[in-house]
Amino acid sequence: MRLPNERRNLSIIIVGVGIAGVTAAVALRQAGHSVQLFEKSAFAKEVGAAINLAPNGARALRSLGFDLQRALAYRVTGYDFVHGETLEKLNIVHETPKIESGTWAVHRADLHAKLVRLACESHDGMVKGEWGLPVDLRLASRVQSVVSRHDGAAVTLVDGKTLSADVVVGADGGTSVVRSYVLEDYVDEVKQTHSGMAAFRYLIETDQLKADKELAEWLGRTEGAVALFADMAETTAEKHIISYSCHGNELQNFVGIHPSKTEVIEEGDELKGIMMQEYGHFHPSIKNMIGMASHLKRWPLYVHEPISTWIRERVVLIGDAVHPMLPFSAHSANQAVEDGVALGLVLNGNDEADITDSLVKFEKLRKNRVARVQILSSVRAGREAEVQKKLSKYLDLDVTRPPATNPNRCIHDWSYDILTESKKLSKL
């Protein structure tokens, strides 16, 4: 028989196995719960790009026993601004505060695979006695609908099977079915405005790039830095290509930001022609580099406003399902990681009556923090003053003034420690 305040291990269903879903799975397993993960694809999607892990994301992952080096993550040492047409180093000083735990570049597939391992392995050396059972991962299992009750929640798969749990977590990304349910009465809030920009994303093997003499020289001098190839012919559009290493420096990741009204995600080598047009005036070696691109994709970039509700009874949203954001400060995956870790911390040590209260606490812990990061992500570094009014609606006890400069934004975004913040919340 359980005593009245005795902790109960919960059954939790997570919909979607992106970075948000799998991080939450690890954190909830480590908190002792039984987790089932449902992923619609046979293999988790979008394997071909890298992610910039900021100090806050790296810190949160380490709290789960995640080893960045084993995931072949690459420590970012600084920023290198390069003239797109001449490949000369530009004399731009981009001072960012040095924050413990560092910034890392990691191939999404490496990060994802190691998190899945941490979630599903039964004999990991790091497993403590109190961890829950290995997570039950179901691929090719699309969730069609979700429903919540005051004492639990259930998902129905496309094959008609219904499964129940104490809590359902919607980590099903930008086209979330769980969000449609949670925000059924708040549909007006789910708005997206086209930013007028799109992003090419692709990878190239480092050795292949070195075959081009000038790119080899650039790689030699830029090692460890995030490089930004700027369009100096037309600076108002802020067209540029960002590059950094990943997968143990075997691959270089590229993101090409450019003006575009495209509304769909596109994929394939025919995009190279469009990219050549966009960057046709760049240095011949950059055009050579575009010719080498593999897994080339183009993403439309939308601005999303913060959403006021993350939960509906026993159903909770995390990751891009609730806070998609522009990639300008490279923060979505970092916020997804913070969400996942936070869920494990907040749903740790509940007695049964507390589950809904814990989800309310989770929302309280995350909502303003994420809203600020999301709003800041909508403007480039140095333009924080433009969003002060919006930010002022999402202040907290510890953040009484919105960050108004880029160094302050970096401190705000990067020095955040989800463990410390969740402890503060539990004392309230």
The binding site for ligand FAD (CB under 6 A) comprises: 15-21, 38-41, 44-45, 51-52, 142-143, 171-174, 177, 199, 201, 255, 299, 319-320, 327, 330-334, 336
List all residues 6 or more positions away from 188 whose beta carbon is below 8 Å from its beta carbon.
none
Q: Which of 241, 350 has the CB closer to ligand FAD?
A: 241
Sole residue written with tokens 């394997």? 47
Q: Which of 28, 350 has the CB closer to ligand FAD?
A: 28
* Number of neighbouring beta carbons within 10 Å of residue 323: 26
Q: Which of 137, 212 has the CB closer to ligand FAD?
A: 137
Distance, CA of 117 to CA of 231 (rounded, Å): 41
Distance of closest approach, residue 214 Cβ to ligand FAD, in angstroms: 26
Residue with the shortest CB distance to ligand FAD: 18
Q: Which of 32, 111 has the CB closer to ligand FAD?
A: 111
What is the side-by-side strand order in the sheet with 162-165? 143-149, 152-157, 162-165
Phi, psi of 384 (to 5 degrees): -60, -30
Q: Which of 231, 320 has the CB closer to ligand FAD?
A: 320
Distance of closest approach, residue 339 Cβ to ligand FAD, in angstroms: 8
Distance of closest approach, residue 167 Cβ to ligand FAD, in angstroms: 16
Alpha helices (H) in 269-416, listed in sequence order: 271-278, 284-291, 332-346, 355-377, 388-391, 406-414
Q: Which of 58, 350 has the CB closer to ligand FAD?
A: 58
Query: Quick check: 298 and 274 in contact, CB under 8 A?
Result: yes
Distance of closest approach, residue 11 Cβ to ligand FAD, in angstroms: 18
Distance of closest approach, residue 137 Cβ to ligand FAD, in angstroms: 12
Q: Which of 179, 189, 187, 181 is nearest to 20 (CA)?
A: 179
Query: Quick check: 167 and 153 in contact, CB under 8 A?
Result: yes
Distance of closest approach, residue 156 Cβ to ligand FAD, in angstroms: 11
Sole residue written with tokens 């349910």? 181
* Number of neighbouring beta carbons within 10 Å of residue 22: 31
Q: Which of 143, 290 has the CB closer to ligand FAD?
A: 143
Q: Which of 206, 334 has the CB closer to ligand FAD?
A: 334
Q: Which of 118, 333 has the CB closer to ligand FAD?
A: 333
Q: Supply angle C-alpha 369, 372, 375, rounded to 5.
A: 150
Phi, psi of 407 (to 5 degrees): -60, -40
Helix (H, G, I), strand (E, B) or coil at 204: strand
* Number of neighbouring beta carbons within 10 Å of residue 73: 28
Helix (H, G, I), strand (E, B) or coil at 345: helix
Query: Quick check: 43 and 183 in contact, CB under 8 A?
Result: no
Distance, CA of 306 to CA of 192 (rounded, Å): 10
